[in-house]
Amino acid sequence: MKRIFPAIFAIVSILSVPIQSQTRMDQELLNEIMKIKAIDNHAHPVKYVAEGEPPDDEFDALPLDAIVAFPLPVRLSPTNPEFMRAWRDLYHYSHNDMSEAHMRELMNAKQAIIKQRGEGTPAWILDQLNIETMFANRVAMGRGLTPPRFRWVAFDDALIFPLSNEAQKRFNQDYKGFYPGEEKLLKRYLGDLKVAALPATLDAYLKTVVTPTLEKQKQNGAVAIKYEAAYLRKLDFDNPDQVKARLTYARYVRGGEPPAGDYKALQDFLFFYIAREAGRLGLAVHIHCIEGAGGFYRQSGSNPLLLEYAFNDPTLRKTNFVVIHGGYPFTKEMGSLLSKPNVYADFSAQTFFTYPRELSEILRNWLEFYPDKVLFGTDAFSFGPEVDWGEVAWLSNTTARQALALALTGMMNDGEIDRARAMELARMVLHDNAVKLYGLK
């Protein structure tokens, strides 16, 4: 028995050593990172709306007010005190509370900026955040959202759901709220093309609706197309069966509910077809992939590994895929997928779901493997006049730069990189990777 005492003593001694404090951010590095003009890979900015005009309703194809209310994460609560810092930086807010009187003062300051800047207000917000270009995920662009400061990312989920979606609406409460928006958008696309009704055959649908819609989006300035499909189904797009897809479309295009397996085959076929066409047109394919909004969202359905079949398809290697939000919380899985030559990830939304410390650990993992595949994004969107898209952009932008500084500080401290390489990586993430991917000037 006495022989074990030295071993136990050694273990106790090890456990008694104080745990080192977490890496402290290199302030000089952060200061330099804050100076980098960024390209925001993913956001939902609101267009300029003059007094008396109807509010903007095209900042998302799937607005959250279409579904049952659900709890917000801590940092997105309108009472999050971090938003007071955003107001201070953007509108010179001088208070440490959110009293009714002070909120009126804030709104007056905002209105004064809008009145002074007019259609230049959205670009002015980017200037305050040192964001050079923001990719606007919108149904259509609008006043104040013009190139080169804003680039369009068009929504194309509607194209892969051309048949009856009534069965899906009964399956999930969130689907019930979201599918009508996609059906409305498909009708809009048909109207833009002056197509009175869906064609009778799948080949005709591809020729007269799908391809012309993509070409029109490209012509109107889109740099990418966006899928929010995880809000409507699982992301398991695989093994497109052309025969089943054609039969399913022809049988149900004029009515009736297609069996789930048959409809999935059609959706998978359309996803692969659209991805190939996007590659031909030089449009990146953005795919929402994160624990999504809504009380009935299927988190397991947005694991990025579900996309592996598509990423491995040799016919899609000319198409660049960007996993929006980086698949959180499946970030290690996402990191493994960055080995695919045409797969990238941004970390938008992680910038307000998590705090800088946790985000820095995710970024460090990605940067140690595939630093040329990592993109900055804010997922800025509006919660209303007080916490508008500018405030969410501020929160994400601040978090992202702090997290990047923390990750790079740790890598420097561990001897993996020097300061020059740290700044090179910071510029890649915040700016240069996007320039290369999208061919921006």
Q: Tens digit of pLDDT for each residue in 411-437? A: 999 999 999 999 999 999 999 999 999
CA separation for the pair 299, 174 (Å, rounded): 13
Percent of the chain with pLDDT over 70: 95
pLDDT, mean over the chain:
94
Q: Tens digit of pLDDT for each residue in 20-54? A: 457 799 999 999 999 999 999 999 999 999 888 99
DSSP labels, 304-336: GGGGHHHHH-GGGTTS-EEEEGGGTT-HHHHHH
Query: Region 310-338: what's the mean pLDDT?
Result: 97
CA separation for the pair 288, 294 (Å, rounded): 14
pLDDT-derived band at 13 (thresholds 50, 70, 90) equals very low
pLDDT beyond 90 at 7: no
pLDDT of residue 76: 94
In the sheet where 343-346 sits, what is the strand order?
38-43, 131-137, 150-155, 222-227, 284-288, 321-324, 343-346, 374-375
Q: Tens digit of pLDDT for each residue in 226-264? A: 999 999 999 999 988 999 999 999 999 999 999 999 999
- Rounded to the nearest 5 percent, the helix, strand and coil shares of the chain are 55, 10, 35
Token pair for 345: 């990830």
pLDDT beyond 90 at 69: no
> What residue type is assigned to position 208 of the chain?
T
pLDDT of residue 49: 93
| Residue predicted with more confidence, 17 or 158 | 158
> What residue type is assigned to position 278 of the chain?
A
pLDDT of residue 386: 94
104-124 burial, b at 16+ Cβ within 10 Å, e below that, comes to ebbeeebeebbeeeeeebbbb
pLDDT of residue 6: 40
Place of tokens 């109207």: 191
Q: Tens digit of pLDDT for each residue in 130-149? A: 999 999 999 999 999 999 99
Q: Which of 269, 275, 161 has its CA nearest to residue 226?
A: 275
Contacts with 279 (C-beta within 8 Å, 6 or more apart), sequence order = 316, 318, 319, 320
Q: Tens digit of pLDDT for each residue in 179-224? A: 999 999 999 999 999 999 999 999 999 999 999 999 999 999 999 9
pLDDT of residue 239: 85
- Note whether 238 and 309 are within 8 A (CB): yes
pLDDT beyond 60 at 328: yes
CA separation for the pair 109, 97 (Å, rounded): 16
pLDDT of residue 21: 52
Q: Tens digit of pLDDT for each residue in 358-381? A: 999 999 999 999 999 999 999 999
- Note whether 259 and 229 are within 8 A (CB): no
Query: Region 375-402: what's the mean pLDDT?
Result: 97
CA dihedral over 242, 244, 247, 252, signed as positive or negative? negative
pLDDT of residue 99: 97
Q: What domains can you pick out in the chain, each with its CATH number?
A: 24-438 (3.20.20.140)
pLDDT of residue 63: 84
Query: Region 391-407: what's the mean pLDDT?
Result: 98
pLDDT-derived band at 357 (thresholds 50, 70, 90) equals very high
pLDDT-derived band at 12 (thresholds 50, 70, 90) equals very low
Angle at 85 between CA 138 and CA 361, to 5 degrees: 70
CA separation for the pair 48, 142 (Å, rounded): 7
pLDDT beyond 60 at 14: no
